[in-house]
Structure 1
Amino acid sequence: MSNLETRPAEQVCTAGEQRDGIELLTPRDVPLGGPRAMNVRRTIPQRSRSLVGAWCFSDHYGPDDVSSSAGMQVPPHPHTGLQTVSWLFEGEILHRDSVGSLQTVRPGELNLMTAGAGISHSEESPSEGRPPRLHGVQLWTALPGSALGVDPHFEHHGDLPVARVDGAVVQVFIGRLAVGGRDLDSPATAYTPLVGAQIDLEPGAEVRLAVDPAHEHALLVDTGAVAFEGCAVPTSNLGYVAPGRPALVVRAGAGAPARAVLIGGLPFAEDVIMWWNFMGRTHEDIVRARDDWMAQVAELGPAGQGGATGYADGAAGRRFGQVHGYSSGPLRAPALPDLRLKPRARPGQG
């Protein structure tokens, strides 16, 4: 998924800050594709917290009725320096990318795209035979410096580890987690120690998750009344806990089932700048990525004015490659701000 804000703010992503208790992060509504399009609820990044482990972006959307609309329509757009993690509760999304992938993702399955130095992709609700509702999360993780040069690639995982314990179902889509004495280890590629998992709870059920006390964690509540480490977390909010806990307890209220997504990992050790869909270390990284993308967009043929099926042949060797088959041309990058993009010092560094 792209950040489609026309005036994206500079997001300075710093290493994880440690705080006692639970920190509640409230979402902001962002229109995906314009004011008449579907809205998403974004909890990170924001000023008070820009990272949870390597997790640097969290959009929560739906349930949206897509039976009589176009649903999700995100034209080809670029990424650098991160992974995109697509996870659904309901519906279907069709993914296309510049390494040749064409893959539909459904609930309980994972689409994972690693950008490396540069990739482009599109996402859309299938035009025919799709379920009537769309509901899920779009997450990004920051790549560490050691992985910035990896070849861009895509993974789809349809068989992920699940544990069922005392009225709770826990499915780990990336990383690892211990539940009910079992270690759940996802086959998805991760470049830093982290975890991403869906937790479903029957009314009144409680689950205890064994975690690495060196990691920080956050819980995004999708539906139902949920307490995270004894603190109520409202729907669509993210409840954050600092490192230092060997276990985490998630409990559903007695009135209805509940669903949440747990993210976490080792506090990210590098300062990075995230602007639009680009992750870099310096202002120059962002400027270069934007220039490379816009040079590629400029090579579009006449079909790019509407009804395009891909990039013009001259763009094939460009940094971000080609996306074939989407019904319109690529997104243009917003204008950079007048000020220089600079990482903020991590806590304790002034």
Structure 2
Amino acid sequence: MPKAQETLLEIDLNALKHNFDHLKSRLNSNTKFMAVVKAFAYGSDACEIANYLQKLEVEYFAVAFVHEGVQLRNAGITKPILVLHPQAANFKILIDNCLEPNLYNAKILNQFIAVASAENQTNYPVHIKFNTGLNRLGFSETDVDYLSTTVKKTTAITVKSIFSHLAASEDLNEKEFTLNQIAKFKRIADSITKALNYKPLLHICNTSGILNYPEAHFDMVRSGIGLYGFGNSAKENKNFKPIGTLKTIISQIHTIQKGDSVGYNRAYTTDSVIKSATLPIGHADGIGRQYGKGKGYVIINNQKAPILGNVCMDMIMVNVTDIDCEEGDEVIVFGPNATAEALAETANTISYELITGISQRVKRLFVGQ
């Protein structure tokens, strides 16, 4: 691949296909696959990623908010799209774009029924979320009777799926908790299916659920982080390929004398003569200030270059004293080898936060396929 000449996020579609194929290999042939492409497809490019996955015959997509689903429709996505956290103010737009809402409490349920009825909808597909322990969004188990009674009173909607979200599926120390969530979900699904007299799709597994709890795959699974190359454990990471490589270049190299400082607030002061390299990437690009003062690093000519001082809005400075490099050389911020997960750990955070935070001003370059 050509060397970077500017800051860019290189996205490998071959790696995406590898990850999708691996996840599919863990499923029964009749289990549907929902690709989660919220947050710009975890910091990459939702429209490009979704169009590619649509060609691979993904059955469903999921986004967080209505405007994300509208963007996918405008980009040519025709498969069903679940909106995980819709707001009532956007219900008409949602219907106009054939998006499918997650309805998670009595208020949002009744608001959607009212809008769907006013729009003369019949059997509009909706998804009902139950809270089984994450305590974020969802009806409770005690709401089953109310929910089924309310749904049966209207012809405006039909329940396409019933789902929940596992709280700690990646942590096998929490296996008992997860199994209790799954058992609770089964009870809820049985109760509401009997009450409705038809069977919606059932889904509870996220990426780690797919990998660790095959007995809970049900009718469909949802994968986000796995598609983008992370298995949430050292063992599973070996089966995935990170799709994104964040690259930049060296703009300038300085020789910093002993006792001199680098960057804003003089956050780093040398105790010997060093060489620093300035890179055109900063916290406006998604490399937060938490990576400053030596916590983070980049890779230059296969060597780690620690970040010096505070991260600037558009630049970072790194220590290249012991690295043979020149102005214009390529720099790897993260990629398949120096992973986003490893970089995130230096700032006590997770790969999700790092990759989803990459600014939209960073150029995207698609490779493979």
TM-score normalized by structure 2?
0.25
Give the strand-richer structure, 1 or 2. 1
Give the helix-richer structure, 1 or 2. 2
TM-score normalized by structure 1?
0.26
Larger Rg: 2
